[in-house]
Structure 1
Amino acid sequence: MASLISGLAHIGLRSADIERATRFYHSLGFTTQQSLTSDSPQGCIEVRFLALGELVLELYQLPWPGKQRDAASFGIDHVALRVNDLAASQQWVEQLGYPVIEGPTHQPSGRNGVRYFMIAGPDGERVEFSQPL
């Protein structure tokens, strides 16, 4: 079967301080393409998409009221693979024996957002399958 993956959508970086991370990546030539905030029961989640050429980083900072996090809690969290057919991709990964651990769900980003789901990678990373809408 031919791969349903058409390319890299983005790399997700979990940030302890999204402002500091944004300044760092701006200094390397990235520009902010989009900023989002959403509310969760734990508080406000901040998300920024930064781009340099075709490389896109998704910086996000989760609310951690009253909790300390160690350095291993930050950094690369997931790799997002672009697909053209999310339902077919989900069926494919499930046939491979990889259970979906998140989604499918809609994320409002870009013009119309994306639909995505995630599976677990072998070393704790998450692999996102992302279909632009």
Structure 2
Amino acid sequence: MIKNVPTGLAHVAIPAGDFTATVEFYKNLGFVPVVMHEFSCILENGSCRLEIYRRRVDEKPAGAIDHIALVSEDIDAAYKEIVAMGCEIVSKGIESNEMFAPKSNRFFLFLGPNNERIEFAQVSD
């Protein structure tokens, strides 16, 4: 077992065929947009967070779960442990993006035993 275990679910990512309709659907279920971009939206309902994004035509079908993101307290240490386990890293190492601005978001993606994509994410102020 790795030492830097996830501490919670960060989000579930869902590619949308109709981005606007998908966001509205989840808003009707009580989710509130907390970050909105032209191509993606983060919605929250209590401790549940969804990432809805415009589906890229050549990838997974609309509605397929793209990846499961888990919270990491020490992304650098977790990355080293996952690599040592022999998991295939499918991101460009540890990456960062501005989706959670003004907070910092560092993450990496790897494949689970069934080729499911798993993200470890560390969001900080």
Under TM normalisation by the shorter chain, which class is it?
0.7 to 0.9
Q: Give the TM-score normalised by structure 2.
A: 0.86
Which stretches of structure 1, 4 residues or longer, exceed 6 Å deviation after superposition?
none
Deviation larger for 95-104 or 51-60: 95-104
- Is the contact between residue 4 and residue 72 of structure 2 (CA under 8 Å) also seen in structure 1? no
Deviation larger for 83-92 or 99-108: 99-108
The one-letter amino acid of 1:86's match is I
CA distance in 2 between counterparts of 1:27 and 1:56 reads: 15
Alignment of 1:49-60 (within 5 A): 49-60=42-53
> How far has the Cα of 1:60 moved from its partner?
0.6
Residue 112 of structure 2 corresponds to 121
Aligned: 1:130 with 2:118: no
How big is the alpha-carbon RMSD for the aligned residues of Structure 1 and Structure 2? 1.8
CA distance in 2 between counterparts of 1:3 and 1:105 reads: 18
CA distance in 1 between counterparts of 2:56 and 2:72 reads: 30
Q: Deviations over 1:43-76 (max 9, x none)?
A: xxx0100000000000011454xx7x7xx52221
Gaps of 5+ in 2: none
Gaps of 5+ in 1: 38-45
Q: Deviations over 1:19-56 (max 9, x none)?
A: 0101110111111111124xxxxxxxx01000000000
Q: Give the TM-score normalised by structure 1.
A: 0.81
- Is the contact between residue 78 and residue 126 of structure 1 (CA under 8 Å) also seen in structure 2? yes
CA distance in 2 between counterparts of 1:99 and 1:125 reads: 11
CA distance in 2 between counterparts of 1:123 and 1:100 reads: 14
Residue 30 of structure 1 corresponds to 31
Alignment of 1:13-24 (within 5 A): 13-24=14-25
CA distance in 2 between counterparts of 1:14 and 1:62 reads: 5
CA distance in 2 between counterparts of 1:100 and 1:56 reads: 24
Greater strand fraction, Structure 1 or Structure 2:
1
- Is the contact between residue 4 and residue 73 of structure 2 (CA under 8 Å) also seen in structure 1? no
CA distance in 2 between counterparts of 1:101 and 1:80 reads: 14
Count of residues paired in the alignment: 120
